[in-house]
Amino acid sequence: MINRRDLLKAFCAFPFLTFLPGVGKAGNIVDFPQLKTGYAHRLKKILAAGGLPYIDIESSCNSTKLDIDYIAKNMDRLNIGLMALSADIGEGRFKKGVRFDNLSEKLLAGYPDRFIPVGNGGQPPALTEAPDEFLDAQEAAVQKKQMMLLGEFEFRHYPSPRQVKRGEVKRDVNIPIDGPIGHRVFGLSEKTGMPFQIHYEVENELLAPLESMLQQYPKARVIWCHLAQIRYIERASRYTPAYVDALIGRFPNLYFDTAFGDAGSIYPLSNQRHSRVWADDGGLKAEWRDLIIAHPKRFLSALDLGGDRLNRIAEYDYKHRNFLKHLPVETRHQVAYGSAWSLLFGEDFG
């Protein structure tokens, strides 16, 4: 649960954080109870009309090119309940000194019943070239109660399929999760209760450092994005449904989002079908389905829209719903919105 009293205490103790470089003068304190009322109303309205709303816990964009009304309209058209749409700070703005993007404030000003305030994408160049300044700015926004979650922080990130298509194969992020940046992010979550998202490719040798961090920061609330997205199967023999099940048993604050490709999606650099949940008949593999059914509160809906694919929202929605429909009704509702609700508000939806 977000401990608001502690956040307020921390803010009172460090009011100077407001004036850190890059934070700017933006930053109204977000009224969480008021937002919660609006969110609940919207979700219930969609449910009452017979739709299945979901909470997209992980999408991102370039805020300078974002058409907010277009996204909002499509959310209505597609019955998308809520969206945590984070801003990525691109190369150009990074060079101009931007370390914090107050997109969430703009989103809430226009559509307070559908956007979840979220920190900025932790990716190059911000997280790799100016990690302290970037994290100072994110932390300041946390202390000022401007957001409900952080991320997505890219610790290990292969070039995405779309980057490969564009020939941008040089982007190959490798930040040790148990290095200084990892300790700072996990520590911030531990201290404030703020959940955060990580992008962390599945590789055998990366598992031990992550487990070690989860052990050292048991109160850190971690969303490991892209369940069972394995780009190179030969590097990931240890990652199985049984392994994920064991992690869930050991770490009560570990969550997984379900932003992964469809059954035919191929990772171009390995030529492998990287979404490992799918069976040959187009359904979910029983062992992954059973895992989700056994621990529905740990799995979260997510679209993973990005700056280069916001116009494909209907296609992403269709694919995500195709995944959800393979789950039993109760599990489907839990994964679609129930899990994110309890993660954000510390109580069951209803």
The footprint of Zn ion (CB under 5 A) covers: 199, 225
Min dist CB 189 to Zn ion, Å, is 18
Tell me the two tokens of residue 267. 């990772």
Residue number with CB closer to Zn ion (257 or 317) = 257
Secondary structure E strands in 202-325: 222-224, 254-257, 266-267, 272-273, 299-300
- Please state, in angstroms and rounded to a whole number, the distance separating the CA atoms of residues 221 and 208: 18
CB-based contact 213:182 (threshold 8 Å): yes
Min dist CB 123 to Zn ion, Å, is 9
Min dist CB 37 to Zn ion, Å, is 31
Tell me the two tokens of residue 157. 């990130």
Residue number with CB closer to Zn ion (112 or 176) = 176
Q: Which residue has the CB atom at the shortest distance from Zn ion?
A: 199
Q: Which amino acid is at 190?
A: E
Q: Which amino acid is at 260?
A: F
Residue number with CB closer to Zn ion (152 or 317) = 152
CB-based contact 8:121 (threshold 8 Å): no
Residue number with CB closer to Zn ion (144 or 157) = 157
Tell me the two tokens of residue 195. 């959940």
- Please state, in angstroms and rounded to a whole number, the distance separating the CA atoms of residues 63 and 140: 20
Sign of CA dihedral 280, 157, 223, 104: negative
Residue number with CB closer to Zn ion (199 or 319) = 199
Residue number with CB closer to Zn ion (199 or 298) = 199
Min dist CB 200 to Zn ion, Å, is 9
Min dist CB 326 to Zn ion, Å, is 22
- Please state, in angstroms and rounded to a whole number, the distance separating the CA atoms of residues 302 and 295: 17
Min dist CB 245 to Zn ion, Å, is 22
Strands 196-200 and 173-174 turn out to be unpaired
